[in-house]
Homo-oligomer: A and B are copies of this chain.
Amino acid sequence: MDKILRVNMTDLSVRTEDVPPDWAGLGGRGLTSTIVAAEVPPTCHPLGKNNKLVFAPGLLTGTMAASSGRLSAGAKSPLTGGIKESNSGGTAAKLFANLNVRALIIEGQPADDRWYSLHVDKDGVTIQEETELVGAGNFAVAEAVEARLGKKVGVLTIGPAGEWKMGSANISVKDPEGKVRSIGRGGLGAVMGSKRIKFIAVDDTGGPRVQVADPAKFKEAALRFSKTLLEHPVSGQGLPTYGTAVLVNILHEVGGLPTRNFTAGQFAEHEKISGETMHDTIVARDGKPKHPCHPGCVIQCSQVYNDKDGKYLTSGFEYETIWALGADCCISDLDDIATADHVMDDIGVDSIETGVMFGVAMEAGILPFGDGKGVIRMLREEIGKGTPLGRLLGGGAAAVGRVYGITRVPVVKGQGIPAYDPRAVKGIGITYATSPMGADHTSGYTIATNVLNVGGHVDPLKKDGQVELSRNLQIATAAIDSTGMCIFIAFPALDIPDCLAALVDMINARFGISLTLEDVTNLGKRILKTEHEFNLKAGFTNEDDRLPEFFAQEPLAPHNVVWDFTPAEIDAFWNF
């Protein structure tokens, strides 16, 4: 029997609830956003007792469906002030699913300053006071919980950044190797910190596992689905071979690789930080060029990156991180970036927000462009130690820009703009502007069609078709984010008709229902509208669906293009 677990941190009580009929068809982002919209007052302080932090595995998580093990977290974001869903790999989603936990809702706030941990198992949740691990980094927490409770237990944890309620604080999820993946964006680690929860352990021992209504039908659909993932050149070859960093050279070529705090679209030293270079380095150092972020992923875009001595340095080393510290901060030493990635994972800060922040900090003169060693030192000695400068840097790009009076601050709704310049890849600009999440490439990844020619081609330099492209992708993504699927299934989904058909067949077989593709699309629309409505009630207006002024004022080399959408053109996004 599926259930909702509810934890009240004000009185330290726990409850197990039935899944309300309205929430029955929802998982992942669809469920977290629905719960947040239903239960969190949109104008509440995101770090106060009225905010809630919700975790939910996807509709297909825990089944044999490939790449379905993503865990969604939702809350009102302290970074954007709007609704937030962010998801990650790791093992916890599958363990929640095995326990038939559809959502874990954490509400309230302790009156005193003690720290706690939550332990989720087949009997529900227990709350324990935690003293030993307060102040510890994420790797230490993951190891300590493993030592206490065993290797198979899932861990959600915050580092010092979350304890300090930094705007860039993420939530880390233990991955199959005992390292961590990140629920990165929007400062959800600060919300967990505001609830004074250092970690959540998830133990599926004796759990009921996922019941599939029609196992034979499910298996058939799952095989078809998996086949499309392996068949498509991006999910089947590009990503497994080079990881997401394959995009470095591609974005450089199209002139949309934001460089030196978004003042150029190409980075002269792009080769040094490219996916190809990363691949060769990993191979030469006996790392793993291919690696799943969660059990059952067939794409395996992750990797294990070793240092010069062949010792583990980092994993889950993504394009966006490499771009942010690389091109955007003009750092060309991949080892420096890898080291910084590891430190960010340990402190528990979002590597996109932090990288974009460093670009702004460099423009502010806090450290020089290109200073990789300086970034590592500031991560360790300032952010990692919670010094005043560290607290500011941990506040993210908007905070640093505001405090230093910088006008070139690449954020939307307070969240740092990722690795694709919206002047040169206009579709993604519509996604940045309109997504209820703030600037977020994953919420409507037009790079697929603008740059990679997946799902057709829409010229990235022209305005035509971009709003429609972003709208279709944002709707589809909202639905996909509800299944527990990795967003990279979008590549085959856009090109191979059987991919989405198989996905819908899996959902139907899992629950014994008969959804159509249109039903799934309507689910995506409903989620997006629910999120948008929350933001409007929180005080957002169309004026929040805008890129920063400098994108319209400063032409981007090499194409010398500016952001030229009118407000009315952007606002037409919501006509659906």
Closest-by-CB residue of B relative to A166 is B405
As a 0/1 sequence over residues 530 to 543 of chain A, the CB contacts with chain B under 8 angstroms (1 = contact) are 00000001111111
Which residue of A44, A190, A394, A407 has the most chain B CB atoms within 10 A of its CB atom? A407
Contact A549 B78 (CB under 8 A): no
Whether a CB of chain B sits under 8 angstroms from the CB of A403 is yes
Closest-by-CB residue of B relative to A41 is B549
Whether a CB of chain B sits under 8 angstroms from the CB of A221 is no
Contacts of A395 in B (CB 8 A): 402-403
Contacts of A407 in B (CB 8 A): 45, 47-48, 194
A405 to B395, CA, bound (A): 9
Contact A164 B405 (CB under 8 A): yes
Contacts of A539 in B (CB 8 A): 541-544
Contact B543 A538 (CB under 8 A): yes
Q: Which of A384-392, A447-455, A517-525 contacts B (4 or more CB under 8 A)?
A: A384-392
The 3 closest A-B pairs by CB, nearest first: A165-B405, A539-B543, A388-B389
Using A388-B366, A389-B389, A539-B544 as known contacts, say yes or no to A402 and B43 having CB atoms under 8 A apart.
Answer: no
Whether a CB of chain B sits under 8 angstroms from the CB of A546 is yes
The listed residue (B44, B404, B542, B549) touching A391 by CB distance below 8 A is: B404
Whether a CB of chain B sits under 8 angstroms from the CB of A277 is no
As a 0/1 sequence over residues 34 to 55 of chain A, the CB contacts with chain B under 8 angstroms (1 = contact) are 0000000001110111100000
A49 to B23, CA, bound (A): 49
Contacts of A540 in B (CB 8 A): 541
A484 to B74, CA, bound (A): 52
Contact A405 B78 (CB under 8 A): yes
A194 to B190, CA, bound (A): 33
Whether a CB of chain B sits under 8 angstroms from the CB of A186 is no
Closest-by-CB residue of B relative to A405 is B165
User: How many A residues, CB 8 Å from partner?
Assistant: 41
Contact B549 A405 (CB under 8 A): no
Contacts of A538 in B (CB 8 A): 543
Closest-by-CB residue of B relative to A541 is B539
Whether a CB of chain B sits under 8 angstroms from the CB of A548 is yes
Q: What is the minimal beta-carbon distance from A4 to any residue of chain B, in angstroms?
A: 26
Whether a CB of chain B sits under 8 angstroms from the CB of A167 is yes
Whether a CB of chain B sits under 8 angstroms from the CB of A326 is no
Whether a CB of chain B sits under 8 angstroms from the CB of A399 is yes
Contact A193 B543 (CB under 8 A): no
Q: What is the minimal beta-carbon distance from A556 to any residue of chain B, in angstroms?
A: 18
Contacts of A194 in B (CB 8 A): 405, 407
Within A160-193, the residues touching B (CB, 8 Å) are 164-167, 190, 193
A190 to B405, CA, bound (A): 8
Closest-by-CB residue of B relative to A194 is B405
Contact B167 A402 (CB under 8 A): yes
Contacts of A190 in B (CB 8 A): 405
Q: A193-B405, A403-B403 are in contact. List 4 more A-B contacts (CB 8 A).
A: A47-B407, A194-B407, A391-B392, A394-B403
Contacts of A391 in B (CB 8 A): 392, 403-404
A553 to B164, CA, bound (A): 23
Q: What is the minimal beta-carbon distance from A110 to any residue of chain B, in angstroms?
A: 13
Q: What is the minimal beta-carbon distance from A403 to any residue of chain B, in angstroms?
A: 4
Contacts of A366 in B (CB 8 A): 388
13 CB-based A-B contacts, threshold 8 Å: A43-B543, A44-B549, A45-B548, A48-B549, A48-B550, A49-B553, A164-B404, A388-B389, A388-B392, A391-B392, A392-B392, A392-B403, A539-B544
A538 to B539, CA, bound (A): 12
Contacts of A165 in B (CB 8 A): 404-405
A50 to B391, CA, bound (A): 31
Using A389-B388, A539-B541, A539-B544 as known contacts, say yes or no to A43 and B549 having CB atoms under 8 A apart.
Answer: yes
A448 to B285, CA, bound (A): 76
Closest-by-CB residue of B relative to A44 is B549
A211 to B202, CA, bound (A): 81
Contacts of A43 in B (CB 8 A): 543, 546, 549
The listed residue (B47, B404, B550) touching A405 by CB distance below 8 A is: B47
Q: What is the minimal beta-carbon distance from A535 to any residue of chain B, in angstroms?
A: 11
Which residue of A190, A543, A553 has the most chain B CB atoms within 10 A of its CB atom? A543
A402 to B403, CA, bound (A): 11
As a 0/1 sequence over residues 453 to 475 of chain A, the CB contacts with chain B under 8 angstroms (1 = contact) are 00000000000000000000000
Within A43-102, the residues touching B (CB, 8 Å) are 43-45, 47-50, 78
Within A129-180, the residues touching B (CB, 8 Å) are 164-167
